[in-house]
Structure 1
Amino acid sequence: MIPDRRLLLVHAHPDDETINNGATMARYAAEGVGVTLLTCTLGEEGEVIPDELRQLAADHADQLGGYRIGELAEAMAHLGVTDHRWLGGAGRWRDSGMLHTPPNEHPRAFWRADPAEAVAAVVAVLREVRPQVVVTYDENGGYGHPDHVQAHRVTMAAVDAAADPAAHPTLGAPWQVSKVYWTCLPVSVLRRGQQALAEAGQETGFAIALDAGELGDATADELVTAEVDGEAFRAHKEAAMRAHATQITVRGSFFALSNGLGQELLATEHYRLARGEPGVAQGREQDLFTGIDPA
């Protein structure tokens, strides 16, 4: 049986999905929505936090990507998501690292992917899963990482191509996505989180960002069009974040990546509508499927 409501999330690396959308994914999975995660790389270039696992890193054994396959599987189990795929198959494209670094020059770097091949790989998933809603990044990829930017470009192009009967005719029947959302963090929520971290003092052991830009690009509150309340699934998201142990440290209501800068662990997650019609006339949508007739 195909669920009436179907959601596809396209993310660059393992852990991106849980940080940005973990509570949303858990909530919808529990509600019987068909939730599909499509991850573009194995995250081979990630910085490893635990001392005992640092030999996995790209500049040592270069086994981090394989290890993160297991981390992501565990995270999905905590979120209740059973349909997870790797774009082009596991390892087809490699984590590109940051611009102007050696990993960005790797021949399999996702940043250097043949656009036609990468778009076709997403089209195949879109036409198979037939999601009404797609979630990915904005044009800057949230904070400018090449793989995030590439995921945005490839996804947006694939949404158009999937609806075109003349495009990729061997990849299945055309499918029109109803809505595309870009995951985002409102400026007010970022500020609130940093204030909460400051009030927690030394208890978390995390540093406070001197410049909010160090935590990524926040979105002006007036541009945020949807917020999904996943408070009932906070524990699921926290467990999934802990599963990404090479990349994330969780302490109480806060977490940090390898830079040690604390951030608030959010169970209400925010989105900006990029394609499609808003489901409410005023205010923010509370459900990404608002206004969509199941089909």
Structure 2
Amino acid sequence: MTRRLLAIHAHPDDESSKGAATWAAYAHSGAQVVIVSCTGGERGDVQNEALEPRAMAERDIAGLRRIEMANAQRVMGVEHRWLGYADSGLPEGTGTEEGAIEPLPANCFALVPLEISAEPLVRVIRQLRPQVMVTYDETGGYPHPDHIRTHEISMYAWEAAADPGRYPEQGLAWRIPKVYYDRIFNSQRVSKMVEVMTASGHPSLAEMEEFQGWMGDRPSLATTHIPVGDFLDVRDAALRSHASQVAPDSRFFFWPNDVQREAWPFEDFQLISSAVQGTVPEDDFFAGIDLNDEVSV
């Protein structure tokens, strides 16, 4: 039976900065990989001063980001679905002690009641019937309202999709056996990069040490390390597809791939819920899953 993986993200480009090598690796191996973008990223600012279609970005950023997403999808070899919600933006002051200074825009993703916004995701889950779902933790990875809402809608839809009494018009109930959180940016990975770069006297060592300082003592919560050494270049190509959001020389995303292959050729995730037998650490999302079990709940 086909292995089916569902990855849920807030905006187009998140799927490339948070797991593109993993999605590409599984797609290459024959798994069906479906990326969901909850919003269109309409309120994203241009992050690349050298962006060539600058006029289009200023006139129609939503349209440009759809084009960029299609390019990234093609690079990774995955399927893609839009949920169609409006980007909430990042209000000034979000994440500070004072809270959000600016109100969220009316009808944005973060303000749509969960019982409404989750319905199309329930439909995707029941149609796809994935064995694995990947999403963000309760913090969203960082305090953007859409990232936090992506966590909330993912977990809400995961539970609702398994309940035959909820959204019965959206298909037969399906419980996803394994759920993971993204843990790709973790201190253990950065520390190994610094270790290898120090030993080789790598010219970018100072930049990596600066990033290590930014990471601080963030705990390493990953249980699952997906081998992606052969797909790091695909990840970079997917990232560069989102040219409005990712500058081609971004130090935040583009680390030396030769060093990564030596130091930490993995992307990392945390197993949050599992209905199957297995042990961690693991190196495969589908470990313990009986692919012949295709029965809806």
Tell me, yes or no, if structure 1 residue 96 matches structure 2 residue 89. Answer: yes
Query: What is the aligned length?
Result: 274
TM-align CA RMSD: 2.9
Pairs within 5 Å for 1:75-94 = 75-81=72-78, 83-87=79-83, 89=84, 92-94=85-87
The one of 245, 248, 260 equivalent to 1:247 is 245
Counterpart check, 1:72 vs 2:65: no
Instruction: Answer with 264-273 or 4-13: which moved more.
Output: 264-273
2:22 corresponds in structure 1 to 24
For residues 13 and 230 of structure 1, what CA distance do their matches in structure 2 show? 23
The runs of 5 or more residues in structure 1 that have no matched partner are none
**Equivalent position of 2:235 in the other structure:** 237
Deviates more, 1:7-16 or 1:191-200: 191-200
Secondary structure at the aligned position of 1:23 is classed as: helix
When residues 231 and 164 of structure 1 are mapped into structure 2, their CA distance, relative to the original with a 3 A threshold, is: same
Amino acid at match of 1:93: A
Asked if 1:108 is matched to 2:107, the reply is yes
Give the drift of 1:116: 1.2
Match of 2:124 in 1: 125
Counterpart secondary structure, 1:270? strand
> 1:194·1:263 contact (CA, 8 Å) conserved in 2?
no
Instruction: Provide the C-alpha distance between the structure 1 equivalents of 2:62 and 2:212, rounded to a whole number of angstroms.
Output: 31
- Tell whether the 8 Å contact from 1:248 to 1:256 is kept in structure 2 after alignment: no
**1:255 Cα deviation from its structure 2 partner:** 3.9
Distance 1:279 1:70 in 2: 41
Q: Is the 8 A contact 2:27 2:76 kept in 1?
A: yes
What amino acid is aligned across from residue 149 of structure 2 in structure 1? Answer: Q
- Counterpart of 1:17, as a letter, is E
Q: Which amino acid aligns with 2:273?
A: R
Residues 68-96 of structure 1: per-residue CA shift (max 9 Å, x gap): 11111101111111x20111x3xx32243
Match runs of 1:1-295 below 5 Å = 4-48=2-46, 49-52=48-51, 53-54=53-54, 61=59, 63-81=60-78, 83-87=79-83, 89=84, 92-98=85-91, 99=94, 100=100, 102=102, 105-184=104-183, 185-193=185-193, 200-201=202-203, 208-209=210-211, 211-213=213-215, 220-221=219-220, 223-251=221-249, 255-256=251-252, 268-277=266-275, 280-281=278-279, 283-294=280-291, 295=294
Per-residue deviation, 1:150:
0.2
Taking the aligned partners of 2:274 and 2:43, their CA distance within structure 1 comes to: 35
Cα deviation, 1:171-227, whole Å, max 9, x if unaligned, reads: 1000010011001133211334467789654699999348525xxx98522x21101
State the identity as a percent. 32
Alpha-carbon contact 1:135-1:180 (below 8 Å) kept: yes
TM-score (norm 1): 0.82
Go from structure 1 to structure 2 and tell me whether the alpha carbon gap of 1:189 and 1:118 turns closer, same or farther (over 3 Å shift): same
Aligned-residue offset at 1:144? 1.7
SS of 1:239's partner is: helix
Query: Is the 2:42–2:61 Cα contact (8 Å) retained in structure 1?
Result: yes
C-alpha distance in 2, partners of 1:186/1:194?
13
Aligned equivalents of 1:178 and 1:289: distance in 2? 9
Q: Compared with structure 1, are the counterparts of its residues 70 and 25 closer, same or farther at alpha carbon in structure 2 (3 Å cutoff)?
A: same
Q: Which moved more, 1:149-158 or 1:191-200?
A: 191-200
Distance 1:121-1:183 versus aligned 2 partners, 3 A rule: same
Is residue 127–residue 162 contact of structure 1 (8 Å, CA) maintained in 2?
yes
Unaligned segments of structure 2, at least 5 residues:
95-99
Native 8 Å contact 1:193 1:264 kept in 2: no
> Cα distance 1:136–1:86, how it changes in 2: closer, same or farther (>3 A)?
same
